Structure 1
């Protein structure tokens, strides 16, 4: 059995060399197809990753009423005495104890003004001090993106809350975008892979047609279908393997350049591409695996018509 597989292995290598230009044509077909698959899959996977990050970045901003004392341990009473604040963290604790809430962060008026100044320019410094028109706020992160609306509605009912913002239309658009990317991205990737199998099988079929006489002779001398098919399947696997080398190198350099260029700006928005140490090995391994599988599958499909009795 081992000797037989070894014979098939050597025969497949000889066939690649013997068929010269036909082998080059088949490898070129695999290379072009895998380049398209690799680039398309890279875009789809990272778009899905960014869509998921956008979902997870949806937060609820809860603005407290003017003069709120929720963060003050002590307050001044009606007669001017400093006393313990009996409602210290009352709003915070109500929010924190909600089942769907993952985290609550306090943001003072000064912190919000500083953020606006950093984002929109120095003009906002005019509103510092007593001129600050902003409100104290709590920033809520929910356990799941889907629970944003529910939590926002519950928080709005709490006494002392002035306004609740959850992104509204923008939030809905983000969720719809994420679902669309996942659904259509997967469908398009599967369609592209099926197209790749058909394209490569047609290319390999041409090489097999040129050797139909060889197959007929093998059948006349009594060779079994499995014996005839073996070298061709290995040959298809070799074609897929060699066809994956150039796409893998191209994806590596393109993704490294894209990652180094986009990562810093995305990080400022709490977004990120798939890390290189995760994406590169996974994508290159997948390209080689897909190349071998579709090369072998293409050979099998192409051989079927010649092995029919």
Structure 2
């Protein structure tokens, strides 16, 4: 496309926005409301996904060793567990360390057991994929010198199912919102184009190509998307700034965390702007298509 033609399309798209004031306002309002809903939902779902991932990463297998297991057997078992493909890490914790952890968590009353420690030596095993935890525990349970491999089977499986369901529901809702946005914005832009169908017909009759007619409308849709994304970006940024400032201190010593304000908010804002541009351009492209058949 020649620079002169491109400049003409750009001018026409901007003039059209200014000329059709009320229709521009209606289109931008539709884009704004829809992108605000999508933006808020994306922030919520990505943070829910972060929390779910943190919970999954905290899942571990505690491998209790038989009492009296020799050091050589412990080292051999550690290597054997580490060689399992799905295992990410293996950490040894002696029964003395386990007792110290117990005293730290539950109080000095448990120091009474220092003379006759009833606890087991333990391997703390983490899977590369949390979903593999159960299979790894079953495999380790069959190894020699292992008393029991525990990971809270019933609760963990239930937790995984809940997290997977919440992710799937969230994904479906986001996709549904995006399709709703496309449909709503496309119809709003279509009203604008219907009002200018004579202009399109005249351009076609004097020999304008389809793409020559399309480009000003596509660029106009692009500008509508940009204008419609300004308020959602501002509101989502402000809302997350205050929410982050309120929630973050309360999770200071917790293994569950929300996404940091930066660079997360820039990524969300970029996504909102991109969606606005794509939806606006796509809505214009689809709406003008039927009027090109003259």
* Match status 1:104 vs 2:105: no
Partner of 1:114: 103
Closer/same/farther in 2, CA of residues 217 and 195 from structure 1, 3 Å limit: same
* Contact kept? 1:58, 1:167, Cα under 8 Å: no
Gaps of at least 5 residues in structure 2 are none
Partner of 2:292: 307
* Match status 1:5 vs 2:40: no
Determine the C-alpha separation between the residues in 2 that align with 1:251 and 1:241: 15
**Superposed displacement of residue 163, structure 1:** 3.8
Where do residues 171-190 of structure 1 align in structure 2 (5 Å cutoff)?
Answer: 171-190=156-175
Partner of 2:218: 233
Q: Which is higher, the Rg of structure 1 or of structure 2? A: 1
Partner of 1:22: 23
* Contact kept? 2:200, 2:213, Cα under 8 Å: yes
Closer/same/farther in 2, CA of residues 105 and 258 from structure 1, 3 Å limit: farther
**Superposed displacement of residue 115, structure 1:** 4.5
Partner of 2:197: 212
Instruction: Report the RMSD for the aligned CA atoms in angstroms.
Output: 2.5
Determine the C-alpha separation between the residues in 2 that align with 1:267 and 1:103: 27
* Contact kept? 2:221, 2:283, Cα under 8 Å: yes
* Contact kept? 2:103, 2:110, Cα under 8 Å: no
Gaps of at least 5 residues in structure 1 are 71-86, 118-123
SS of the aligned residue for 1:306 comes to helix
* Contact kept? 1:61, 1:138, Cα under 8 Å: yes
**Superposed displacement of residue 133, structure 1:** 6.7
Provide the aligned length of Structure 1 versus Structure 2: 285
Q: Deviations over 1:140-175 (max 9, x none)?
A: 222332332233224334555444321211221232
Where do residues 225-264 of structure 1 align in structure 2 (5 Å cutoff)?
Answer: 225-264=210-249
Q: Deviations over 1:239-265 (max 9, x none)?
A: 001111111122222223333333344
* Match status 1:295 vs 2:280: yes
TM-score by length of 2: 0.86
**Superposed displacement of residue 235, structure 1:** 0.6
